[in-house]
Amino acid sequence: MTAAIEFRGVSRIYGELRAVDDVSFAVEPGEFFAMLGPSGSGKTTCLRLVAGFDTPNSGQVLLDGADVSSMPPYERNVNTVFQDYALFPHMTVLENVAYGPRVRGVAKSEREQRAREMLELVQLGAQGERRPAQLSGGQRQRVALARALINRPKVLLLDEPLGALDLKLREEMQIELKSLQKKLGITFVYVTHDQGEALSMADRVAVFNKGRIEQLAAPRELYLRPATPFVARFVGSANVADAALAQKLGFAAAFAIRAENIDVQAESAAAPPDSVVAPGAVVAVQFHGAASRWQVQLDAGEIWSALITEEETRRMNGLGVGTRVNLSWPREAAVPLSSASSG
């Protein structure tokens, strides 16, 4: 099967900055593909290379098997939902949605019919005559989605589409986007810096750092078996022991351990069998509702965090900020890391 999108050794360099550095990957047709990374990691540049707003300095971008590296955006069968929605302020909602067919020469009655169908699809059937400025953020988001989908693209690109929405609306839209993608069967490429969003929606996630892909894997794999210190920290908020720290704790190589796998005990308590113990002092206890995050300064160096359920926290009488504790975790819970990246 031909990949919907394929990058072959793509680089995009701005002056000194290697925004995208020799990146290769393929997106399967119908896949929900997330590009995750901090700002400046190259994920948005990759999106722009797919859309055609930018051209690579070297390498090839393929859509459906055809090299489109230097094809202008208006000839590519992909559409974009922009971070700021980019709705045309001088057009009504209906005119915005009908814009794609309009510039492709579709007759007025037909394109308005199609636009109305798209607005129904995103549950905005009644808002067609309004201007974008009269809509709420969530409604504008849906208009942008309808406008991008009306051309029936092979690939839909979404650039941090939910970034401007509040938490509740964001969670609703996540569910909606996912079910819309299933229903339409269109390939989605979703750029985000929110690891929770990427993990909960995507079939596969590419984690970007400094212009390169650190790891490309399914969400569960990414979370349970991060390949590099960067992925462990960024995706799982895990504690990372570099080679030196690992040695002090009796490990051969660098490893990651997720906060929820660590237990906090009084210094005097006996360690559970077959577990690793690291002594330290509590520097902060952050209440998060169902769980609390205990930040502990290890005697061996770094500050690590342990996620303790509320029930357990209540049982830890006498322990708190400033007291000495032991962190312990089952030996097999440690995930070995390749030291390819410094994180």
Residues engaged in binding another protein (CB under 8 A): 51-53, 72-74, 78-80, 82-84, 86-90, 99-100, 102-104, 147-148, 151
Nearest approach, Cβ of residue 38 and another protein (Å): 21
CA distance 61 to 50: 7
100 vs 229 by CB, closer to another protein: 100
- Taking the least distance from each CB to another protein, the nearer of 153 and 226 is 153
Residue 83 vs 200, nearer CB to another protein = 83
* Residue 104 C-beta: closest distance to another protein, Å: 5
Closest to another protein by CB, 45 vs 215, is 45
Decide: 321 and 285 in contact? Cβ < 8 Å: yes
Shortest distance, CB of residue 272 to another protein, whole angstroms?
A: 55
Q: 99 in helix, strand or coil?
A: helix
Tokens describing residue 60: 């090839």
Q: What is the DSSP letter of 122?
A: T
Dihedral Cα 209, 213, 216, 221, nearest 10 deg: -30
**Shortest gap between Cβ of 136 and another protein (angstroms)?**
19
Cα–Cα distance between 93 and 135 in angstroms, integer?
A: 9
- What residues have CB less than 8 Å from 11, skipping those under 6 apart? 18, 20, 21, 22, 23, 56, 57, 58, 59
The answer to whether the beta carbons of residues 309 and 200 sit under 8 Å apart is no
**Where are any strands of DSSP class E within the chain?**
5-14, 17-27, 32-36, 58-63, 66-67, 78-81, 155-159, 187-192, 204-209, 212-217, 239-241, 255-257, 263-266, 275-287, 291-298, 303-309, 324-330, 335-336
Comparison of 73 and 330: residue with beta carbon closer to another protein: 73
Q: Of 74 and 315, which CB lies nearer to another protein in the complex structure?
A: 74
Q: How far is the CB of 189 from another protein (least distance, A)?
A: 13
- Dihedral Cα 180, 183, 186, 191, nearest 10 deg: 30
CB of 89 or CB of 273, closer to another protein:
89
Write down the least CB distance from residue 191 to another protein, Å: 14
* Least separation in angstroms between CB 132 and another protein: 11
